[in-house]
Amino acid sequence: MTLSLHVPIKGMSCARCADRIERGLNELEGVKASVNFALEQGALELEQPQQLGAALERISSLGYQVEQETQQFAVEGMSCAACASRLEKVLAREPGVLKAEVNFSLNEARVSGAAGVMTPARLRDAVAAAGFTAHFRPAEDRARQLQEQAAREQGEERRERFRLIISALLTLPLLLGMAAMAGLLPWHLPPVAEWLLATPVQFWVGARFYRGTWRALRARSGNMDVLVATGTSAAYGYSLWLLFKLGPAAMGHLYFEASAVVITLVSLGKWLEGRAKRSTRAAIVELMALRPQQARVWRDESWQQVAIAEVLKGEQIQVLVGERIPVDGVITGGESELDEAVVTGESVPVLRTIGDRVLEGTINGSGVLELEARAVGEESNLGRIIALVEQAQMGKAPFQQLVDRISALFVPVVMVIALLTGLLWWQLNGSGEQALMAAVAVLVIACPCALGLATPAAVVTGTGAAARHGILIRDIETLQRAHRVRAVIFDKTGTLTQGRPSLDQWHGDAADLRLAAALQQGSEHPLARAMLAAVDETLPQPEDLKVHVGSGIEGRVAGHHLFVGNQALMQRAGVVLSGGITAPAGVTRVWMARDGELVGWADLADPLRPESAAAVAALRARHITSWLVSGDARAAVDHAAEQLGLDGAFAQVLPAGKVERVQQLQAQSAGLVAMVGDGVNDAPALAAADVGIAMGSGAEVAMETASITLMRPDPRLVVDAIDISAATWRTIRQNLFWAFIFNTVGIPLAAFGLLSPALAGAAMAMSSVTVLANSLMLKRWRPSAR
């Protein structure tokens, strides 16, 4: 079946561009295309939906743009992980969809595809056709979406609890019948009474299993509902047939209690599972709760309370004592101690004054502040944190994809095993009752709920715990890799050091220092800021600036052509270094040339962070090597490496050289290599490393490139990131063990008649609860590198 799409294409300047794109697309196998320059779109005919990705890649490779978007929405009605897997396949087949992820633990879906093609209406219809309900909200109203989702789930929990109580009350008398069959009581309930008690449990309490079975059969797939509905219906139907056939003589031969007990226990397990799932989402809910709903904004010559969604960049905002900061901004008036623990994990209040940056969600402790809004809504630091945590929690580990494939085959295989079990028992002893009970027990114990929950429950809880302690993990692949790191490369300035170097000594005339400081106005490098801070006067503006990344800066000030930078820059500029080549230990030396001649040099000191030594020691205790790669001078780098006890250090390394060092260690190391940095010049190395770790206090490009962001400048968080990765994957392995052990031990026991349906139901419920309870243990994780 051919799929027809109209995809918007940007960047075409003439009809010839459209022809070029059209030819490129028609070269792809299974794709027919026509591109209209006037409409700025391409009409695609695809033999398979999966060919859309190749088509979009071809358009991008030709230099044109196809806008992509991501839709994230809540899904109501999933009963187990198999439902999530089935819905993923349904969404992936929709026109315009490139990737679909459905998380059963979060009851959410995230779908990426071509903008304008993959519409919410189409996705909602696809979800409905699969038997579920989609709830959409605009991205800027994410908090309300979560609140509404929580309200729906709480309402459903109350209804489930009511049904569960009624089910337990109706099932309890039936247990007396089981006791009588075991010889513990001298009498049985009348058969009609058993039927009257069991029927509401089967068809009212158990209606959810029939609805889930109908949805699964419509989609030609299997899930937990199919197993429960089939097994309990067989026991109920067989008992009803005996009741009609034998009447009162059927007393003691009915199995109404088996179906009722299974439904009650499975419902209990699902209710407990739902409560635990909501606990795993606590990190997102807590982060959302940090966002104030209103802000006090200066408008029309007065302070006015407005909804936070209405605040614009550049507006002046007032924050009173005890209030949360509503946006990311810069203080323009007042000073106060801020509690930043909720965002950075730092427990000690931090003094912030005019010119300092403040973050949304932090608490104003001691003074009235006025600030200018710099980032609002999803663009704020807290907004990015929430997005990163959600992105990581929605991801799927490679072996979770294998688990999903196993689960998809699991139900039909179990159905065959149950059928064979029943037939063999029938042939061996001719007892239809024993054959039925063994088959029902196989169906019930085999429910793959725990298997589907093993990975997502641990990932959601683990990433949430990491976020609460100031560690943002971008995706699940990073979470999987981090615990296998065996070598860590640190940048020096701003990473292992405080990043606030100061001028220790200037060798030269004061007038030349003034010129050097004026030139540094065009640089954001910490060494440049240190020289600038040493001159407390009005400076002339530089011209013709040229930044030499990793070396220094060049430009004109007051008619002079200046170079300020390291030895490599001086050599490229043809400047002869007549003195001062050897710098004292722990000092970075920066040279200054004026009009081609050396006129002075500055000795700059950047003290180590007090936590750096502890971080290196903690890595060594975990048998992880530590390396220092910096663009600073050899003496300063070696001094830092000696103080910290690093395994090796490389000085005067340019950004490209940092990438080479990462690649060298990757070739030599038995495990993976992590790079830790905070500057623009670290971005290439962060991208090249197996795990890139950025300091949250550093440059935006570093944080965007890295796969882990540390929300406070503490190198010990590097160790903590590795530890939470290890703890999460240890929990996943434990979860998979428990999930598999219940099935691998339980199915043979049930097939041999050693496990009753009631015990099978209890074991199945216990498997899911065990997996979720084990995952929730991660909420108690605390950093150990202290």
In this structure, which topology does domain 312-375 adopt according to CATH? 2.70.150
Assess whether pLDDT exceeds 60 at residue 182: no
- Least-confidence region, from 100-114, 162-176, 287-301, 448-462: 448-462
Note the pLDDT of residue 233.
81
Confidence of residue 719 (pLDDT cuts 50, 70, 90): very high
Of 270, 196, 262, the residue nearest 229 (C-alpha)? 262
Residue in the block written with tokens 């010049």: 681
- Least-confidence region, from 129-143, 166-180, 299-313, 743-757: 129-143
Say which residue, 82 or 711, is predicted with more confidence: 711
The hierarchical CATH code for the domain 485-497+610-706 is 3.40.50.1000
Q: Which residues contact 197 (CB under 8 A, 6 or more apart)?
A: 170, 171, 173, 174, 189, 256, 260
8 Å CB contact between 574 and 501: no
- Average pLDDT of the segment spanning 725-753: 84
- Average pLDDT of the segment spanning 457-486: 83
Which sign does the torsion angle of CA 175, 179, 185, 187 carry? positive
- Average pLDDT of the segment spanning 74-79: 80
What whole-number distance in Å separates Cα of residue 70 and Cα of residue 113? 7
Assess whether pLDDT exceeds 90 at residue 275: no
pLDDT digits (tens, 9 = 90+) for 535-589: 878 888 899 888 887 788 899 999 999 999 888 889 888 888 876 567 677 677 8
CA distances to 114, 192, 502, 536, 596 from 531, in Å: 49, 93, 7, 10, 21
**Active-site positions?**
491
Say which residue, 67 or 396, is predicted with more confidence: 67
What whole-number distance in Å separates Cα of residue 472 and Cα of residue 694? 10
- Average pLDDT of the segment spanning 268-295: 68
- Least-confidence region, from 126-135, 212-221, 411-420, 619-628: 212-221
pLDDT digits (tens, 9 = 90+) for 84-124: 878 888 888 777 777 788 877 677 888 887 766 677 788 88
pLDDT digits (tens, 9 = 90+) for 673-690: 999 987 666 777 887 888
Beta strands 302-307; 108-114: pairing state: unpaired
What does the mean pLDDT of the chain come to? 79
pLDDT digits (tens, 9 = 90+) for 232-256: 787 788 778 878 877 888 776 677 7
* Sheet of 672-677, strand order: 471-473, 708-710, 691-695, 672-677, 485-490, 625-629, 648-650
Note the pLDDT of residue 622.
92
- Least-confidence region, from 31-35, 42-46, 712-716: 42-46
Which H, E and C letters describe 666-687, residue by residue?
Answer: HHHCCCEEEEEECCHHHHHHHH
Confidence of residue 158 (pLDDT cuts 50, 70, 90): confident
What whole-number distance in Å separates Cα of residue 483 and Cα of residue 727? 9
8 Å CB contact between 449 and 80: yes
Residue in the block written with tokens 């109203």: 141
pLDDT digits (tens, 9 = 90+) for 308-338: 878 888 889 998 888 888 888 999 988 888 8
pTM score of the predicted model? 0.59
What whole-number distance in Å separates Cα of residue 40 and Cα of residue 131? 37
Say which residue, 767 or 492, is predicted with more confidence: 492
Note the pLDDT of residue 716.
92
Residue in the block written with tokens 């490098």: 525
Assess whether pLDDT exceeds 80 at residue 737: yes
Note the pLDDT of residue 276.
60
Superfamily of domain 502-605: Calcium-transporting ATPase, cytoplasmic domain N (3.40.1110.10)
Assess whether pLDDT exceeds 80 at residue 20: no
What whole-number distance in Å separates Cα of residue 397 and Cα of residue 395? 7
Note the pLDDT of residue 45.
67
Token output for 135: 């709830």
Cα 566–569–573 angle (5° rounding)?
140
What whole-number distance in Å separates Cα of residue 351 and Cα of residue 501? 20
- Parse the chain into domains and list their residue ranges: 1-66, 150-282+391-461+729-780, 312-375, 485-497+610-706, 502-605
What whole-number distance in Å separates Cα of residue 726 and Cα of residue 704? 24
- Average pLDDT of the segment spanning 620-626: 92
Q: Which residues contact 238 (CB under 8 A, 6 or more apart)?
A: 255, 432, 433, 436
Assess whether pLDDT exceeds 90 at residue 617: yes
By residue count, the chain amounts to 786
8 Å CB contact between 7 and 42: yes
Residue in the block written with tokens 């074991």: 763
Token output for 535: 């001159």
Note the pLDDT of residue 287.
65
Assess whether pLDDT exceeds 70 at residue 5: no
What whole-number distance in Å separates Cα of residue 198 and Cα of residue 645? 72
- Least-confidence region, from 48-57, 108-117, 520-529: 48-57
Instruction: Encode burial over 733-749: b for 16+ CB neighbours within 10 A, e otherwise.
Output: ebbbebbbebbeebbeb
CA distances to 378, 639, 684 from 309, in Å: 10, 50, 36
Nearest-10 crossing angle of helices 398-429, 432-445: 170
Say which residue, 41 or 236, is predicted with more confidence: 236
Say which residue, 648 or 57, is predicted with more confidence: 648
Say which residue, 45 or 107, is predicted with more confidence: 107
The residue type at 598: L
Say which residue, 283 or 433, is predicted with more confidence: 433
Of 167, 175, 166, the residue nearest 194 (C-alpha)? 175
Confidence of residue 24 (pLDDT cuts 50, 70, 90): confident
Assess whether pLDDT exceeds 60 at residue 528: yes
Provide Rg for the chain, Cα atoms: 33
What whole-number distance in Å separates Cα of residue 347 and Cα of residue 341? 5
1-66 carries CATH number 3.10.20.90? no
pLDDT digits (tens, 9 = 90+) for 444-465: 777 666 666 677 778 778 888 8
Tell me if residue 339 falls in helix, strand or coil. strand
Q: What are phi and psi of 474, to 5 degrees?
A: -70, -45
Q: What are phi and psi of 364, to 5 degrees?
A: -75, 120
- Percentage of residues in the chain having pLDDT higher than 90: 10
Residue in the block written with tokens 């796969």: 707
DSSP secondary structure string for all residues of 380-439? SHHHHHHHHHHHHHH---HHHHHHHHHHHHHHHHHHHHHHHHHHHHHHHH--HHHHHHHH
Token output for 534: 């040493």
Say which residue, 210 or 346, is predicted with more confidence: 210
Return the DSSP state at 541: P
pLDDT digits (tens, 9 = 90+) for 361-392: 888 877 889 999 888 877 777 776 666 666 65
What whole-number distance in Å separates Cα of residue 270 and Cα of residue 558? 76
8 Å CB contact between 675 and 694: no
What whole-number distance in Å separates Cα of residue 710 and Cα of residue 472? 6
What whole-number distance in Å separates Cα of residue 278 and Cα of residue 188? 42
